[in-house]
Structure 1
Amino acid sequence: MRQFFREFWLGISTYSSAIDFIKKHKLRTYFLLPAIFSVLIFIGLAFVAYFYIEELMTYLDRLLNKTSLEGFWYKIAQWIVNTLVWLFAGLAYLKLYRYLMLILLSPFLGLIANKVQDILHQQEAPFDLPQLLKDVLRGVLISLRNLVWELLFTSILMFLSLVVPFLSPFTIVLILLIESYYIGFSMIDYRNEYKKIPFRQSILIVRKHRGFAIANGLVFNLLILIPVVGVLFAPALSAVAAGIGIEKIEH
């Protein structure tokens, strides 16, 4: 447990180290393309989500009109339904953004992670397109694998919160930690790709350092809530922080 909290704090503090690292080694240009694509993904999803939410709310409003509710009780029921729709839509939107970001930005985040490791190990690996394509495929497969597990665990917790409502505050926290773990997992694996660590061994490494993985993903989740700035810089910054932190832990 002591190791968990020590590595959890390291996962948070490495974001500050990552900012200093980026400034020192002039890596700002590496952030340009990931930032542009991240914003495009975020805005594109927002338009799609808004359209379907409006359709869903109109449909649910029609269903409410068919009930015997009137006046004050109808307005209360309508408010509850609308609030729940927006809440679950917001959670689904952020989840979809995170995984589309991990899949579509995989080539850029992989390049950033490789550059960080080149600097840390004082070497310059030659550009290898076939290897980059393999790394991208691995990143996509890991993201899809993590999405399946995350959806399984979060679905169970959400069902539990509906069955036993007083557990909702605890399940919300657990869902956030699970989501953070799998985001951190992906960020750490970029470094493991660089070291040619097999996928199964990479899973064991992340599990061993789950405190660090959760913290890395948690800061990412909090950063994307910051308007504009979070979406622009959170993905690449998280990849840099993960690469720096996991190297500190294992050396």
Structure 2
Amino acid sequence: MLKELIIAFESFYKAHHFIVQHKLWRWILIPGIIYMLLFITGMYFFISSANDAVNYLTNLIGIDRWLQEQKSGILSFLFMMGGIMVQVLLVFFYFSFFKFFFLIVGSPVFAYLSEKTESIIEGRDFPFSFKQLMKDIIRGIKLALRNLLWQTVYTVSILLLSFIPLIGWISPLISLFVECYYYGFSMVDYSCERRKLSPAESIRFISEHKGLAIGNGLLFYLMHAIPFLGWVLAPSYAVIAATLSFREMEKK
């Protein structure tokens, strides 16, 4: 898996040069700006509501009152860290729903961009077919909903884990890798679909090459550390990088 992670990381660097060389900025900026605006709006409303949800939950259970009665600095510290972990997990949980929503809405652009990347590399055009485009969109929606279901199951399980002192502190890290895998899964699937792999075959292939998906998703999330610019570039860079990494795996 380490070799696949390295391929996925290198593909983001290659994707940047590929975009510059072939002047693909219009396919990067338009969906990227829409993504950024949706991301900012959604995070603003979610973070404020997440704080209220955690405060309501602690008051309902009576944790604050119980801690005051115990007068233990260690217990207060442990539950404070637990509250932070829960908030981080809630942010990831929101990001999951937002991510799948954008993947469904943006699937026509992402499918085209992945196809465009491969057509440039091979020096030939893939014939446009509206019927095939609709099949790609329906396939993308079905897989996104399937992944959303499984990721929700994992996220809820990790959320329960976060309530366990000390052990729960690693829950955001586990949640991050789950997030990365399922986002990268969607990006790699565009290449699988073009090779006529069925959804079941695509799921099996990506499961056997988890490093490609995790590496792609991880770089996608790391780009969010660069405000505004990273948010605009991250989605389309991830699509092109996934296409390049898939081809690299084929060579090997």
Aligned to 1:112: 113
Aligned to 2:202: 202
* Shift in CA distance, 159/25, structure 1 to aligned 2, threshold 3 Å: same
* Shift in CA distance, 220/83, structure 1 to aligned 2, threshold 3 Å: same
C-alpha separation in 2, matches of 1:201 and 1:60: 43
1:59, distance to aligned residue in structure 2 (A): 4.2
* Shift in CA distance, 5/57, structure 1 to aligned 2, threshold 3 Å: closer
C-alpha separation in 1, matches of 2:195 and 2:158: 35
C-alpha separation in 1, matches of 2:127 and 2:161: 51
C-alpha separation in 2, matches of 1:184 and 1:34: 18
Amino acid at match of 1:178: V
Gaps of 5+ in 1: none
C-alpha separation in 2, matches of 1:220 and 1:6: 18
Whether the aligned pair in 2 keeps the contact of 1:113 and 1:240 (CA below 8 Å) is yes
Whether the aligned pair in 2 keeps the contact of 1:41 and 1:100 (CA below 8 Å) is no
Whether the aligned pair in 2 keeps the contact of 1:109 and 1:236 (CA below 8 Å) is yes
Provide Cα deviations, 1:8-67, integer angstroms capped at 9, x if missing partner.
111111100010111111111111221122023213313432553465367458656994
Amino acid at match of 1:209: H
C-alpha separation in 1, matches of 2:182 and 2:32: 21
Amino acid at match of 1:119: I
C-alpha separation in 2, matches of 1:215 and 1:65: 39
Identity %, equivalent residues: 30
1:117, distance to aligned residue in structure 2 (A): 1.2
* Shift in CA distance, 68/31, structure 1 to aligned 2, threshold 3 Å: closer
Aligned to 2:187: 187
1:157, distance to aligned residue in structure 2 (A): 2.9
Provide Cα deviations, 1:108-161, integer angstroms capped at 9, x if missing partner.
111100101111222101222221121111111111111111121232233234
1:168, distance to aligned residue in structure 2 (A): 2.8
* Shift in CA distance, 10/85, structure 1 to aligned 2, threshold 3 Å: closer
Q: 1:28 aligned to 2:18? A: no
Aligned to 1:250: 250
TM-score (ref. length: structure 1): 0.84
Whether the aligned pair in 1 keeps the contact of 2:151 and 2:178 (CA below 8 Å) is yes
1:85, distance to aligned residue in structure 2 (A): 6.2
1:14-163 equivalence runs, <5 A: 14-50=11-47, 52-53=49-50, 55-56=52-53, 59=56, 63=60, 67=65, 83=84, 86-163=87-164
Amino acid at match of 1:118: S
Whether the aligned pair in 2 keeps the contact of 1:117 and 1:194 (CA below 8 Å) is no
1:238, distance to aligned residue in structure 2 (A): 0.3
Question: Secondary structure of the equivalent of 1:162?
Answer: coil
Amino acid at match of 2:10: S
Question: Secondary structure of the equivalent of 1:126?
Answer: coil
1:216, distance to aligned residue in structure 2 (A): 0.8
1:230, distance to aligned residue in structure 2 (A): 2.1
C-alpha separation in 1, matches of 2:159 and 2:82: 17
Gaps of 5+ in 2: none
Whether the aligned pair in 1 keeps the contact of 2:147 and 2:182 (CA below 8 Å) is yes
* Shift in CA distance, 176/47, structure 1 to aligned 2, threshold 3 Å: closer
